[in-house]
Amino acid sequence: MLPTKAFAAANAKAPLAPLQIQRRDLRANDVRVDIAFCGVCHSDLHTVRNEWGGGTVYPSVPGHEIVGTVTAVGTAVKGFKAGDVVGVGCMVDSCQDCGACNGGLEQYCERGFTGTYNAPDRKTGENTLGGYSNTIVVDEKFVLRMPKSLDLAGAAPLLCAGITTWSPLKHWGAGPGKKVGIVGLGGLGHMGVKLGAALGAHVVLFTTSPNKREDGLRLGAKEVVVTKDPGAMKTMAGQLDLIIDTVSAAHNLDPEIACLKRDGTLVLVGAPEHPHPSPTIFNIIFGRRSIAGSLIGGIKETQEMLDFCGKHGITSDIEKIPMQKINDAYERMLRSDVKYRFVIDMATL
Ligand code: NAP
Ligand code: ZN
């Protein structure tokens, strides 16, 4: 076992604080990674504060936007060697033997994927502990290659915020000739804007924050709608092929649905603590519109997204923080005061 420094929450009300954890000895297919940076996802906050149906196991070490350097590999590892610069996202395992896993969609594993944190390890049953730590040990099938051309800290958020918006953009055909709405300019939303624009779609940003208008345009949106202005929302009625809602809190979906064209789709990726109020059914019936959901992305498509970002020079807009500032960062994230992703510099741990 390898003693590792980490930051953990002891219960739903406790701030994150230092904790020594143990990483397992290498199994044959394992890769050990020295973590350089870890992004801060709103899911980390939902988890440590036990906002998702009481499922959090404590102590909880969050973090699933992990980048770093391989320091050791197990005897059967073929794809990685010491010194490789790699990433680990939201999953560290799955059954690897069902329709979803065989189709490269491990996030929809029919037996349930193993989350990077807060999930029982498939072999030992021990609770997985995430990237707010110095090292992690992961099966090589769940390790990604980071493009050499990208700033490593800025690339960390691609491993969740990037893939979670990339996957629905690709699945629902975002590209030239398509009008795509992104709701919420936070970690996920700003990657949705950048990736949607890079794929050639006409991106419309929907934000509650008037002061994010300029950034929205700079990040690649062609239009910005401040959602608190009902008049502005009405100008978008019936215009969009696809809307990706990244909002972390429950809200009224009707004004967004009214912006969809006939046959348009609203994809929910934001995962708030409380359900959204039920949308008006008539908005869906009239226009044959759909409401869908989407969960992160598979390993193969995560690598494709990373390679695309490497080629197009796409990273996240980040604010680097020391580990000790994590509790402040959570409070700022709740105030939508993130530009646009916090990334923890693990050298400070
Ligand atoms: P974030 O950085 O906090 O961004 C959320 C954004 O939502 C805010 O910046 C704000 O944007 C908007 N917002 C917040 N409260 C709002 C409210 N009451 N009404 C309307 N808009 C509001 O969070 P994130 O890390 O991007 O994560 C977003 C959500 O996605 C979280 O619930 C997270 O758990 C979930 N998530 C889901 C998946 C998945 O696989 N489906 C993966 C990762 C994360 P504006 O200021 O622009 O309005
Ligand atoms: Zn995440």
Q: Are 151 and 64 members of one domain?
A: yes
Q: Are 104 and 170 members of one domain?
A: no
Whose alpha carbon is nearest atom 13 of ligand 1?
A: 247
Q: Are 135 and 236 members of one domain?
A: no
Contacts of 139 (CB under 8 A, 6+ apart): 27, 29, 30, 31, 92, 93
Residue with tokens 């006939």, as numbered in its chain:
262
Q: How far apart (Å, rounded) are the C-alpha atoms in residues 281 and 246?
A: 21
Q: Are 125 and 13 members of one domain?
A: yes
Of 278, 293, 308, the last residue of a domain is: 293
Whose alpha carbon is nearest atom 7 of ligand 1?
A: 247
* Separation of CA 273 and ligand 2 centre (Å): 15
pLDDT at 330: 98
Q: Are 12 and 156 members of one domain?
A: yes
Q: What pLDDT tens digit does each residue of the chain (349 aa) get?
A: 999 999 999 999 999 999 999 999 999 999 999 999 999 999 999 999 999 988 999 999 999 999 999 999 999 999 999 999 999 999 999 999 999 999 999 999 999 999 999 999 999 999 999 999 999 999 999 999 999 999 999 999 999 999 999 999 999 999 999 999 999 999 999 999 999 999 999 999 999 999 999 999 999 999 999 999 989 999 999 999 999 999 999 999 999 999 999 999 999 999 999 999 999 999 999 999 999 999 999 999 999 999 999 999 999 999 999 999 999 999 999 999 999 999 999 999 9
Continuous H helices in 62-160: 99-102, 152-155
Range of the domain at 172: 161-293
76 strand-pairing partners:
none
The one-letter amino acid at 30 = D
pLDDT at 158: 98
Number of domains comprising the chain: 2
Assigned domain for 299 exists? no
Q: At what angle do helices 187-198 and 299-312 cross, to 10 degrees?
A: 70
Q: Which atom of ligand 1 is nearest to the CA of 205?
A: 47
Assigned domain for 308 exists? no
Whose alpha carbon is nearest atom 41 of ligand 1?
A: 269
Q: Are 196 and 143 members of one domain?
A: no
Q: 65: helix, coil or strand?
A: coil
Considering every ligand atom shown, identify the ligand nearest to the alpha carbon of residue 191 and give its number: 1
Q: Are 325 and 289 members of one domain?
A: no
- In this structure, what token pair is assigned to residue 234? 């009405």
Assigned domain for 305 exists? no
* Separation of CA 192 and ligand 2 centre (Å): 13
- Parallel, antiparallel or unpaired: strands 202-207 and 223-226: parallel
Q: How far apart (Å, rounded) are the C-alpha atoms in residues 246 and 187?
A: 9
* Separation of CA 64 and ligand 2 centre (Å): 6
Q: Are 125 and 72 members of one domain?
A: yes
- In this structure, what token pair is assigned to residue 303? 């690598």
pLDDT at 230: 86
